[in-house]
Structure 1
Amino acid sequence: MSETSTPAAGLFLGMISGTSADGIDAALVRFEAGAPTRCELVLGRTYAWDAALRERLVALGQGGDARSLEELGTLDIQTAEAFAAAAQALLAEAGVAASAVAAIGSHGQTVRHRPAGAGFDGRHPFTWQIGDGAVIAERSGIATVADFRRRDVAAGGHGAPLMPAFHAALLGSPAQDRAALNLGGIANFTLLPARGEVRGFDTGPANCLMDAWALRHLGQAFDADGAFAAQGRVDADLLARLLDEPWFALAPPKSTGREQFHLAWVEARLRGGERPQDVQATLLELSAVSIVQALRAQQPATQRVLACGGGVRNGALLARLAALLPEAVVETTAAYGLDPDFVEAMGFAWLARQTLAGLPGNLPSVTGARGLRVLGTVHPAA
């Protein structure tokens, strides 16, 4: 890829499984020629993980170790096969042939995220997303771009978040300061000032702790619309202990994951005897307060917050964010023609398009990398 070119028009397919590992989001996206600001979601779907495979991926993502190199290699291939199957299912439902798709952009599944400057040993920073792109290309018959985060980390960045360039292209406005808020397992902001550089960073937990607590106490993968949290009351002392986590005080650029914020982290801060619904209410408040504190610290004049990700289905969380931000409009990206459930998957379709054109996909002002970089490894269709 020695020369840059104009980004291609046509169909691209983006896929991601996020911190919560609650499914593989797949988005078929049609781009117009030239500028990256116009695209259409043709079809988006979420495909469930095999339960046993998800259990192992979540355990690894929370800091667990693979039992052997053989197991880790097998998980890499199993994950890739699940992504390839999701791509094939999406195209079948859309009635689109594989030959009509220019490329797949696959995020894969993060099993460890250890960037420099995030409270970890920074001598050998790395990030690892499994789901072999070569297998996806071979199974789907479509050129696949994978391993998007590693090049940014190699250049001294965090490798995350990677959506700000996409958010800036589609959601920025010269008339007001905006912030795109992704409510996945982890929450992250893209700050879109009317004037000035785009910035972005993780703020801490959005859904990951609430989901894990709901699974333990309800046997459900998530707290539907925050109903379980609504049965409880915020424990102010517990909230203070949770917010005392040093990671929250780190300045951007910063990123995190399930290996930082998990149930053992919560349990270490419990005193014993707390009602489960009160803990859930407190975890929701933790997400809301940490998000708002981060926004006020980094872009206090924000006029509009545009939310996406699975957390937009938690009405209690959105309502709490709106209550804590009376000076801003809090709404979802649906108001701007972007399905909140598939913004990230669409973003990885956009990143694949950038890579094939030899164009950068990171923003150094966001990740802290030494400069703009073309991201990902390209696996040809044949």
Structure 2
Amino acid sequence: MIGVVPGSSADTVDVAVGDLAIEGDVVRLDPVHHARHTTATSDSARAGLLEEVAARHGGELVGWLDRPAPRDRRPTAPAPDPAWIAEATGLTAVADLAVPGGRGLPPTAVVDALWLRDRVPAAALRVGRVASATLVTADDVTAVDLGPGTALTDVAMTVLTGGRRTRDTDGEFAARGRVRADLLARLRADVGRPGSTDHDRAHLDRVAEGLTVQAEDFLATLTAFTADLIADGCAGTRLVVGSGGGLRNPVLTRLLAERIPLRASEEFGLPSAATRPYAAAVLGFLIRRGARVDLPGPRPTTTGGGPPTATVTGLTVGGNRART
């Protein structure tokens, strides 16, 4: 199965290929290949890419997970028409990734819940420019936005270096700084106020007004604030499986590990950079098989298109079901 999601810009897509099977009531995923590809935004260019991936790594189905573009990111390309992809490539394309039994959750949250339900209370954390999580308990599944991931530090580095650097690579500046209690208090007090979610220069200018702060201290404080917000959102969990580019910052990762029971998704067989395209592959596979997911919480009252071929209650990745 090939899973595809739009990348962080309009000319990139993230692709993952996995072998999938239903074993009893559990889906087994064996990762095969994943990569970010730069390609033209036309349907024909992306169809050519999928043909190439299928020829190199196998794959008969395509699951495409579309997403809206947050305000602080360049727009991503919309998903191509699945019928057009099928005709152009000969592959079966699935673009509507609403799995029966998923209760309207975001597609990635459905896969997170299947994967983590043996370790509840648990969370699947993704840290990009924005941090989000799927919180899984014995009684419910919730998808939440936690606040900035790398957004604040990215803006700060861009401003402080006049655009020469757009991120604090490897936490270099934050590692050399110290957390300023006065600035951290202002950031915390600003949460929830109008403009506090803009993650832009105006936001940082407002909270730092009247303060003289060294660049390294500014980055250290923003990184600590980000870790605090994420930890607050994941409070009460026994396990937090983390993924996303933001966790390549060792300072942020260390601060999170001090606050929450953080483990990298690689420890459980799923590459951190490819959790979303693999989720698309899993969901496309379930839809194609006509399977229903059985998640914690209220059971749906309708079957959404006839009796399911299987009812799935869990996910293993290479045989590993996120057990410690």
Normalising to structure 1: TM-score of the pair? 0.63
**Is the CA contact 2:131–2:149 (under 8 Å) kept in the aligned structure 1?**
yes
Name the residue aligned to 2:53. 90
SS of residue paired to 1:190: strand
**Is the CA contact 2:7–2:36 (under 8 Å) kept in the aligned structure 1?**
no
Matched, 1:184 2:128: yes
Name the residue aligned to 1:309. 244
SS of residue paired to 1:173: helix
- Alpha-carbon distance in structure 2 between the residues aligned to 1:111 and 1:188: 14
Name the residue aligned to 2:228. 289
**Is the CA contact 2:86–2:93 (under 8 Å) kept in the aligned structure 1?**
yes
> Relative contact order: is structure 1 or structure 2 higher (C-alpha 8 Å, sep ≥ 6)?
2
Closer, same or farther in 2 for the Cα pair 1:169/1:213, shift >3 Å? same
Matches within 5 A, 1:333-348: 333-348=265-280
**Is the CA contact 1:15–1:27 (under 8 Å) kept in the aligned structure 2?**
no
- Alpha-carbon distance in structure 2 between the residues aligned to 1:262 and 1:354: 40
Name the residue aligned to 1:24. 13
**Is the CA contact 1:107–1:129 (under 8 Å) kept in the aligned structure 2?**
no
Matched, 1:196 2:145: no
- Alpha-carbon distance in structure 2 between the residues aligned to 1:260 and 1:363: 34
Matched, 1:270 2:181: no
Closer, same or farther in 2 for the Cα pair 1:371/1:317, shift >3 Å? farther
1:202-233 CA distances to partner (integer Å, 9 max, x unpaired)? Answer: 11111233234334536345322211221333
Name the residue aligned to 2:60. 101
- Alpha-carbon distance in structure 1 between the residues aligned to 2:117 and 2:278: 17
- Alpha-carbon distance in structure 1 between the residues aligned to 2:157 and 2:124: 27
Instruction: Tell me by how many angstroms 1:43 deviates.
Output: 0.2
Matched, 1:222 2:198: no
Larger deviation: 179-188 or 315-324?
179-188
- Alpha-carbon distance in structure 2 between the residues aligned to 1:191 and 1:179: 5
Could you tell me which amino acid in structure 1 is paired with residue 34 of structure 2?
Answer: G
Q: What residue ranges of structure 1 are gaps of 5+ in the alignment?
A: 1-10, 51-77, 114-127, 150-154, 249-257, 375-382
Closer, same or farther in 2 for the Cα pair 1:227/1:348, shift >3 Å? same
- What is the Cα-based RMSD across aligned positions, in Å? 3.9
Could you tell me which amino acid in structure 1 is paired with residue 116 of structure 2?
Answer: L
Instruction: Tell me by how many angstroms 1:105 deviates.
Output: 2.0
SS of residue paired to 2:34: strand
- Alpha-carbon distance in structure 2 between the residues aligned to 1:280 and 1:199: 31
- Alpha-carbon distance in structure 1 between the residues aligned to 2:167 and 2:10: 12
- Alpha-carbon distance in structure 2 between the residues aligned to 1:201 and 1:291: 11
- Alpha-carbon distance in structure 2 between the residues aligned to 1:267 and 1:140: 50
- Alpha-carbon distance in structure 2 between the residues aligned to 1:188 and 1:291: 8
1:74-111 CA distances to partner (integer Å, 9 max, x unpaired)? Answer: xxxx275665455345345x343xxx412x22233523
Name the residue aligned to 1:243. 188
- Alpha-carbon distance in structure 1 between the residues aligned to 2:45 and 2:158: 23
Instruction: Tell me by how many angstroms 1:49 deviates.
Output: 6.8
Name the residue aligned to 1:133. 81
SS of residue paired to 1:38: strand
Name the residue aligned to 2:288. 356
Could you tell me which amino acid in structure 2 is paired with residue 90 of structure 1?
Answer: V
Could you tell me which amino acid in structure 2 is paired with residue 338 of structure 1?
Answer: L
- Alpha-carbon distance in structure 1 between the residues aligned to 2:45 and 2:264: 29
Closer, same or farther in 2 for the Cα pair 1:170/1:101, shift >3 Å? same
- Alpha-carbon distance in structure 2 between the residues aligned to 1:356 and 1:173: 25
**Is the CA contact 1:111–1:129 (under 8 Å) kept in the aligned structure 2?**
no
- Alpha-carbon distance in structure 1 between the residues aligned to 2:201 and 2:51: 35
Name the residue aligned to 2:91. 142
- Alpha-carbon distance in structure 1 between the residues aligned to 2:47 and 2:201: 31
1:272-303 CA distances to partner (integer Å, 9 max, x unpaired)? Answer: 6543333322221122000111222xxx2x22
Could you tell me which amino acid in structure 1 is paired with residue 92 of structure 2?
Answer: A
Instruction: Tell me by how many angstroms 1:354 deviates.
Output: 3.0
- Alpha-carbon distance in structure 2 between the residues aligned to 1:85 and 1:24: 13
Q: How many residues align?
A: 291
**Is the CA contact 1:32–1:38 (under 8 Å) kept in the aligned structure 2?**
yes
Could you tell me which amino acid in structure 2 is paired with residue 42 of structure 1?
Answer: V
- Alpha-carbon distance in structure 2 between the residues aligned to 1:365 and 1:83: 38
**Is the CA contact 1:129–1:147 (under 8 Å) kept in the aligned structure 2?**
no
SS of residue paired to 2:272: coil
The percentage of counterpart residues that share the same residue type is: 26
SS of residue paired to 1:293: helix
